[in-house]
Amino acid sequence: MADELLTKSAVEVGELIRTREVSPIEVTQRLLDHAHELNGQVNAYISFRDEQALAEAAKAEEEIVAGDHRGPLHGVPMALKDNLYVAGEVTTMASKIHGDFVSADDATVVGRLREAGVVLTGKLNMHEYAWGIDNNSPHFGAVHNPWNLDKVPGGSSGGSGAAVASDMSFSTLGTDTAGSIRIPSSACGLVGLKPTHGRVAKFGCYPLAWTLDHIGPMAKTVDDAAAMLQAIAGFDRRDPTSVDVPVGDYRGALTGDPTGLVIGVEEDYYFRDVDTEVERLVRARIDDLVSRGARVEKVSIPALKYSEWTELAVSLSEASAIHHRDLQTRPEDFGADIRFLFYLGELFSSVDYLQAQQVRRQIKHDFAAALSGVDVLIAPTLPVMAPDIGSAVADLNGDPVDLVDNFIRYTGPSNLTGLPAMTVPAGLDDGLPVGVQIIGKAFDEETVLRVGHYIEQSDPMQGRRAPVGA
């Protein structure tokens, strides 16, 4: 039987803590007990920090009793993906090579969550070095999808998605280089937001591909995602990709109704070769917005046809550069899947990489043109459903297709452009979640969140939750 307290959103439990209806110590202990009990089934956590978490919860309680309330996440326990550094503690990147790595500093986002009063319960499983989408780790084992334990949870932030979906963390952060926030959020029935590139500083996050990497929230609700973004957004000079722009009022943006909203739909790429039921559910969400006062404009993004090659050329080149020395000196310590990809990345020439950057510039130009006449673009998050753990293929309307290529096909373009993109639940297909993706203009997370909130208001999941943890 589910612990009703743990099923609440981060903002909801934060309000109970603020009003002292529940103690952060009690909440943290109940979450830790639940997470320990389920981890054998789900394998979401790599490590727990029970003693430290309870000490942080006690400190939060003291502060709140003293009238020093820091905001909606104060005292709320959550775990983080294990490529975000926590000072003085091991961060593994789900790897053998960094199995005992300890940073002297917190990641920027970790420091900002601490400032918001968040209690850190542990580190979450992920695909090794964040380069993969099934989260089947040779070093820490496969993460299981709480909606069906035989299915992949998506990746690389699969432990993050599984933890929140099974109430083992109230919310969390993922990292996203080709979709690694949005893929597991879609597969696990969550809200997942990749902010604009530069909106959230990446200091203290182990890189995969530095021009494509993003950090963002994975949460039960759009309000939770907005609260998380509010806590972590902002400039940090320690990250050379960080951009010094004003931080918005993200929770305050969740108002109004869809009247007058202009939705861009790009048919040629985002609705080509897509699972029939996925397409039906996504179009149903668009139709619902239209019935409430929005309108649809068809848009064209011609350079999208080059995006898959461009994403691979950039990400593999940058990733192999980061891991070049270890690839030369200790290749056997990498998992076989990512070792192959890093070797593949070394085959791209400097000409290939620079040509990919030129194509990337055109893709950005075409997206900007398409978005100039609309508020957001709406598309499926994934064109296929999550397959069984261990499968290298997915089913696309009865045909087997490559899993990696298809899982990143609709998410990768927003990493190339750096535009904000969010997935929210669109409904269920045969008991598994389907996500709808909202893509916005640069540094306009407020509109993306607002549209996600409109979709959420229609209750596409009809109150259903993942069976594991429910």
Question: Catalytic residues, which ones?
Answer: 81, 156, 180
Instruction: Tell how strand 214-219 and strand 262-265 pair up.
Output: unpaired
For 243-258, b/e burial (b = at least 16 CB within 10 A) is beeeebebbebbeeeb
Distance CA 145, CA 33 (A): 20
Q: Judge whether 357 and 315 are in contact, CB under 8 Å.
A: no
- Contact at 8 Å (CB) between 226 and 449? yes
Question: What are the residues facing 216 on neighbouring strands?
Answer: 174
**310 Cβ neighbours under 8 A, 6+ residues apart:** 356, 359, 360, 363, 416
**DSSP track, 353-406:** HHHHHHHHHHHHHHHHHHHTTSSEEEEES-SS---BTT-SEEEETTEEEEHHHH
Joined together, the tokens standing for residue 436 give 């709808």
Which pair of structure tokens corresponds to residue 320?
């192999």
- Contact residues for 38 (Cβ-Cβ < 8 A; gap 6+): 44, 166, 168, 468, 469
Q: Distances from the Cα of 352 to the Cαs of 309, 311, 317, 339, 346, in angstroms?
A: 10, 12, 9, 21, 11
Q: Which helix (H) or strand (E) holds 329?
A: helix 324-329
Is residue 204 within 8 A of residue 101, CB to CB? The reply is no
Question: Residue 456 burial (CB < 10 Å; 0-12/13-18/19+)?
Answer: middle
Distance of CA 237 to the CA centre of its chain: 24
H-type helices in 175-258, by residue range? 182-187, 222-232
Determine the length of the chain.
470
The rounded distance, in Å, linking the Cα atoms of 171 and 198 is 22
